[in-house]
Structure 1
Amino acid sequence: MTLDLGLLLVCILGVGFLAQWLAWRVKLPAILFLLLAGILMGPVIGVLAPDKLLGPLLFPIVSLAVSVILFEGSLTLRFSELPDIGRAVRGLVTYGAVIAVLMLAVAAHYFAGLSWEVALLFGALTCVTGPTVIAPMLRTVRPNARIANTLRWEGIVIDPLGALFAVLVYEAIVSRQQGHTLGIFLAVIASGVVIGLLAAWTLAFLLRRQLIPEYLQNYGALVTVLLAFSLSNAITHESGLLTVTVMGIALGNMRGVHIDDILDFKENLTTLLVSSLFILLAARLSWPLPDGMLWAGIAIFIVAQLIVRPVTATIASIGSTLNWRERALIAWVAPRGIVAAAVSALFALKLDALGMEGAKALVPLVFILIIGTVVLQSATARPLARWLKVAEPDPTGVLIYGADQAARVVARALADAGFQVIVADEHWDGIKHARMEGLPTFFGYPASAYAERHLDLTGIGRLLAMSTNRERNALACVYYRQEFGRGKVYRLSNDNGDATGSRLQMGGDLSAPALFGDGMTHERFLERLAEGWRIKSTRLTSTFDWPNFIEQYGSPTVLLFGVEEKGALRVSSAKRELEPRPGWTVIALVPPQSAS
């Protein structure tokens, strides 16, 4: 079966999108569906043959795509955050990672018959987890905050560090395979470091001096990355991957360089590249696998799951504050992700071209480990967390999008009532005031790709969209409706209530229940605060019920929230008018004359 080349390329993009969408719907890592789609289109159906499709362009395309993926991942490593990540995380990403590399290498050597060089490279590639596979799993498992933070930070930190380690191991193998001396290997390392630092400094200089207009900064950053990669390879063979990794780490840690937009662009581009790249790479697998390869991969997966991870997690957590139950879950959860799949495929292509024995086995073994860890851990981690009693109960925390005065006073009232609160906004001024008021914050748009990686939603189960931007409120509601459920997402109206405002109201799936009723708007809320209205929190009793509350504080009082006796939060909205009962704690906006 043959398809037109253009149609086939569009089909790859379309299938990649569907795989990403399906992963979003079922809250599983997208890499699982991308790999399965590639295997289905390639060796199973036979509609996609990447080597015939791209010919001599396959290797350069894979190389450039991997360089962008590594650069984007390394941008997220912040040295300033390393001292605060905790003893267990530091152990997992340092000596724990080294132990994992060695144990995985031993398993690959004895079960799959790989040479020690290729086995060590396999270990370096597969010791890496990563935020793209950890984040969806944490949302499903919902472990307690200490476990979630440990696993999340491990993924963020080990992603670039693991890639750097794998690149160094690969450089050593290539130098030895080509008969190079230690001096040439060191020259490769020096070239990658120097060119990477120089490229980072050059791009930072242009950005600081605003010599590149904003609309060209993303384009310029991409060109700089690809140019540094290609130039480094031209000057010193095979140093390009090290160059882009060093460049990303250096640029991400430079002061005074605004890279948020670049990071967002790279994340979006990486999603496109990963989606297409993994389908192509999986389609190159031969099926059925060579004799013994499938069973060797399964054996390595069992060793990795039942021996390597428990040993490294146990050793790394010695001296930490984690209890044995928390250590047990951490020892179970370690799904492999993007770096392992992408870089292993590139290295396999290069080593195979050099005639390295066992290079062709690298990709299927890595893919078996990825699929095995993602499937098994996604299916079992939540029940295990419940059995160990380290799973969070149904999330009761509140994510508030918006950080102006209206959002902050609501956040403070909820925090004072004992609820976990996160105030998120892309405007620094509001976030700055929220932090000064002691509120937990997230600087960024909560529905962005950056938030998907860095916004910790452990314990959070509702969204209150209270920003001044009507369109962004609507998009945030649509995004978090899938995360929290349709009944857990609300928005504070930004309309003025006149005819023009009615014409501008969001409809259909873009709408969410109006927070605090149809009569309350963002403007009206701010006006009442300016007039001296204040938020009151009072526990109702049989002798002082809701009618008594209204009688004391006045009929204009606006009921915002109700907290039931067992601690459940009820949100007042246009969809649900609350009827507070004795035993509830009511949180209401009351007029100024009765606020004292």
Structure 2
Amino acid sequence: MIDSLLFHFMFIIFLGIASQWVAWRFKLPAIVLMSIAGLIVGPFLGFVNPKEEFGDLFKPLVSMAVAIILFEGSLNLDYQEVRGLGKPVVRIITLGAFIAWILGSLAAHFVAGLSWAVAFVIGGLFIVTGPTVILPLLRQARLKPRPAAILKWEGIIVDPFGALLAVFSFEFIKFLVLAEVKLEALLWFFLASLLAVILGWACGRGTGWMLQKGHVPEFLKFPVVFTVVLACFAIADELKHETGLLAVTAMGITLANMHISSINDLRHFKENISLLLISTIFIMLTASLTMETLLEILNFRIIAFVVLMLFIVRPLSIWISTVKTDLSKQEKTLVGWIAPRGIVALTVSSYFAAVLLEEGFEDASILTSLTFALVFATVVAHGFSISWLAKKLGLAIDQPPGVLIVGGDSFSTQLGKAFLELETPVLIADSSFQRLSSVRNAGIPYFRGEVLSEQTKYHLEWTPYEYMIAATKLDSYNALVCTTFIPEFGRNNLFQLNIRSKQEADVDDLYHTIGGQYLFKEGVTWEELNKRVEDGDVIKKTTITSEYTYENYVTESHEKTLFLFIKKPSGKLQFYTNEEDPKAEPGDIIASLTRPK
């Protein structure tokens, strides 16, 4: 075995990202694969043990990573997104969390056999779900906006509160049980929590003001924000353990609701950092477990507790807290089932296991096993079931991947009609009502508005659309649209029409660096496409079979036939571009712009 800290650190990062890639490639829950990978290289094979190898750095590294992940997640908590969901969300993160704490504590005492003191500490911690596990599941499941927003808000808001609730329970228990602990210690906890919120708000406002006024140069924006986040977390955590998570959440929400363009630009980079940290930290935590901890999971009391948390505590807390809200039974069922625990639960429970044992609570020795049993069970159960359950309840986007076309004109209208006839979801967006007239007359779904506007983000439902085509008359605007939406759609799913001239040096440089993939044949521009449609050309759709092959189709096609795209039986689309010339297989449908017969 290679005895190198640098090599082991590289190996952990590689394993985390490899797990993410395999999960994407085979459509599996990434969290499950990361957990299994960590267990294999850690307790099973003994190849790495991050807790021992990193020593005193292990806990600070994990804590800072959790703070960054939580901050990045809270940057997505814009109040405009929660319009119409205010009552259910508030109920779930307050009354629902309180019910889950009480029921979880009762289960820990009567089923897991923990003392009342330890049971209430761990019951408070187990209300958390958190962005480290919720956000990957939401990316995987393609939920409709309402249930997705509820799960996201709950995960990010309750995450720091769960840790704080565990701290509060611990402080309260020490006040009741230990004679040397006075009321002042309990009051200091509440004061420190309030100071953490104020600190987070102040850091958010101050950072936002500096970015708005141009006091931070472009190349320093991310380093400044990153440094302030870590400082905010560290200062609050020094005041009182675990209040740092509350501070960075408050900072993230403050910045998100200032609607600063710089933050939108930085958010995508921070998402990549967050993904890297989630992958690395989850591998580190699972690889640090011991075989004794894993074997202890087989204890009947622990198994019974996990089953109770899955099937009784979580569903009951959601159904009771959402009484007389506008959530449907299907939404309550899905939200009541999905509650995976993750990094925060694992890290904070190990902290409390140590301090409770120091205070003489011997039953706290099983907390690590109990927590990992719940984390692994919820990650596996919810990771594999969320897509299936969402489809059964009608809360998943079950249509084939759709196409969002930017720009209303003759060619866009014909292309939109072709997608509709192939039962592919399509939407044509344009800021001009006049340019959308032919789209409206053809009965194609449309959106009037500027796709680059901040407000469009909240008024347009993006989830059904996996592909975007920028097809306006302005080449520069098409490139800008594609470049802006790279984080949302991915470069492989962004397309634009060919630019009019790539001969000038400045345009040729841009051609290779910005924008989306150039559609169809090289040199086929907006003018040519619209002229052909206005002259009577139509979009023809042909099914390729084993008898009528792609080669037959190409041979029989008119010399001016322009191949547009191929629709696979799965609903996936393959577009013809300047660089890609896909070949249709039996069962595929090929669409082309050609002369009418």
Provide the rounded CA distance (Å) in 2 between the counterparts of 1:370 and 1:111: 18
**What amino acid does structure 2 have at the position aligned with 1:373?**
T
Match of residue 152, structure 2, among 151, 156, 170: 156
Q: Which amino acid aligns with 1:397?
A: G
| 1:240 matches 2:244 | yes
Q: CA deviation at 1:65?
A: 1.9
Deviation at 1:187, TM superposition (A): 2.2
Equivalent residue for 2:14? Answer: 14
Q: CA deviation at 1:103?
A: 2.0
Q: Distance in 1 between matches of 2:460 and 2:76?
A: 13
Distance 1:346 1:196, change over 3 A: farther
| Cα root mean square deviation, aligned | 5.2
Deviates more, 1:382-391 or 1:256-265: 382-391
Task: Determine the C-alpha separation between the residues in 1 that align with 2:213 and 2:593.
Answer: 50
What 5-or-longer segments of structure 2 have no aligned partner? 176-180, 437-444, 472-477, 542-558
Q: 2:119: which partner in 1?
A: 119
1:220: Cα distance to partner? Answer: 0.6
Which sits farther off after the overlay, 191-200 or 88-97?
A: 88-97
Q: Which residue of 1 aligns with 2:526?
A: 525
Contact 2:401 2:464 in 1 (8 A): yes
For residues 171-210 of structure 1, the aligned pairs below 5 Å read 171-176=167-172, 177=174, 179-181=181-183, 182-210=186-214
Distance, in Å, in 2 between the alignment partners of 1:27 and 1:416 is 27
Q: Name the SS of the counterpart of 2:237 in structure 1.
A: helix
Residue 306 (structure 1) aligned with residue 311 (structure 2): yes
CA deviation after TM superposition for structure 1 residue 121, in Å: 4.2
Cα offset, 1:240, TM superposition: 2.5
Equivalent of 1:264, from 248, 254, 268? 268
Q: Percent of aligned positions with the same letter in both sequences?
A: 30
Q: CA deviation digits over 1:541-581, x for unaligned, max 9?
A: xxxxxxxxxxxxxx989797999xxxx99988565799xxx
Q: Distance in 2 between matches of 1:130 and 1:422?
A: 33
- Asked if the contact 2:293/2:368 (under 8 Å) is kept, the reply is no
TM-score normalised over the length of structure 1? 0.72
- Give the distance between the partners of 2:344 and 2:460, measured in 1 at CA: 21
Equivalence for 2:65: 65
Give 1:107's aligned residue: 107
Label 1:328 to 1:493 Cα distance change in 2 as closer, same or farther (>3 A).
same
Give 2:274's aligned amino acid: T
* Structure 1 residue 224: Cα displacement: 0.8
2:447 to 438, 442, 446: 438
Alignment of 1:216-295 (within 5 A): 216-236=220-240, 239-256=243-260, 258-289=262-293, 293-295=297-299
Cα separation, partners in 2 of 1:429 and 1:208, compared to 1, 3 Å = farther
How far off its partner does 1:223 sit?
A: 0.8
Specify the SS of the correspondent of 2:403.
Answer: strand
Question: What secondary structure does 2:298 align onto?
Answer: helix
Q: Distance in 1 between matches of 2:349 and 2:49?
A: 19
For the 8 Å contact 2:411–2:533, the answer to whether it is kept is no
Distance 1:354 1:442 in 2: 58
Looking at structure 2, the residues matched to 470 and 254 of structure 1 have their Cα atoms a distance apart, in angstroms, of 23
Residues 38 and 279, structure 1, Cα contact 8 Å, conserved in 2: yes
Partner of 2:548: none
Check whether the contact 2:486–2:494 (CA below 8 A) recurs between aligned residues. Answer: no
Moved more, 286-295 or 20-29: 286-295
Match of 1:545 in 2: none
What SS does the corresponding residue of 1:112 show, helix, strand or coil?
Answer: coil
Give, in whole Å, the separation in 1 of the partners of 2:259 and 2:510: 42
2:235 & 2:4 partners in 1: Cα distance?
Answer: 35
One of 166, 177, 182 as aligned partner of 1:170: 166
Q: TM-score, normalised by structure 2?
A: 0.72
**Residues 352, 360 of structure 1: 8 Å contact kept:** yes
**1:83 and 2:71 are equivalent in the alignment:** no
Q: Secondary structure at the match of 1:259?
A: helix
Write the deviation string for residues 178-237 of structure 1: whole angstroms up to 9, x where unpaired. 825232122212321222222222212211211111111110111111112222334556
- In structure 1, stretches of 5+ residues that fail to align are 446-450, 482-488, 541-554, 579-583, 592-596
Q: Which residue of 1 aligns with 2:218?
A: 214
Instruction: Report the counterpart of residue 556 of structure 2 in structure 1.
Output: none
Which of 365, 369, 377 is equivalent to 2:374? Answer: 369
Contact 2:425 2:465 in 1 (8 A): yes
Q: Distance in 2 between matches of 1:334 and 1:130?
A: 9
Q: Does 1:336 align with 2:341?
A: yes
Q: What is the identity, as a one-letter code, of the residue corresponding to 1:220?
A: V
C-alpha displacement at 1:157, in angstroms?
A: 0.5
Partner Cα separation in structure 2 for residue 17 and residue 569 of structure 1: 25
Kindly tell me: are residues 589 and 359 of structure 1, through their superposed partners in 2, closer, same or farther at Cα, counting changes over 3 Å? farther
- Figure out how many residues of one structure are paired with residues of the other and give that number: 539
Structure-2 change in CA distance of 1:202 and 1:394 (3 Å):
closer
